[in-house]
Amino acid sequence: MESKQIIKGSLQTMILNMLEQHGSMYGYEMTKYVRKQSQGKMVLTEAALYPALHKLSEAGLLSAVYKTADGRTRKYYFLTPQGKKKSKELTQALHQAIDTLLHILNPKQAYG
């Protein structure tokens, strides 16, 4: 349960990073990707995903385009230039935060 709170704080970083890696994705595709990459350990719910996507769009980090796919309208999200820059910054910051935490939690492994 506690890990969910930790991951929740990284949601926006995760979304930006996914889009940076894949170019453009639609909502369901993002939930499926997270489920697959986490081997089912993490479920990205619609209640968490869509407010985050709209917040990032409002901040100018994402944009979206509607295309026809499988007989219906599909909304693809992609990073703006500002979003690409922010994605790199946040991903780096998250990696550093994780490294720092690991040093605190496993000092013997960190320092030998």
Positions that interact with other proteins (CB under 8 A)? 26-28, 32, 36, 39, 45-47, 50-51, 53-54, 57-58, 66, 68-75
In angstroms, give the least distance from the CB of 1 to other proteins: 17
User: Which residue from 33, 32, 28 is spatially nearest to 18, judged by alpha carbons?
Assistant: 33
Separation CA 75–CA 49 (nearest Å): 14
In angstroms, give the least distance from the CB of 73 to other proteins: 5
Residue with smaller CB distance to other proteins, 73 or 109: 73
- Phi, psi (deg, nearest 5) at residue 78: -150, 160
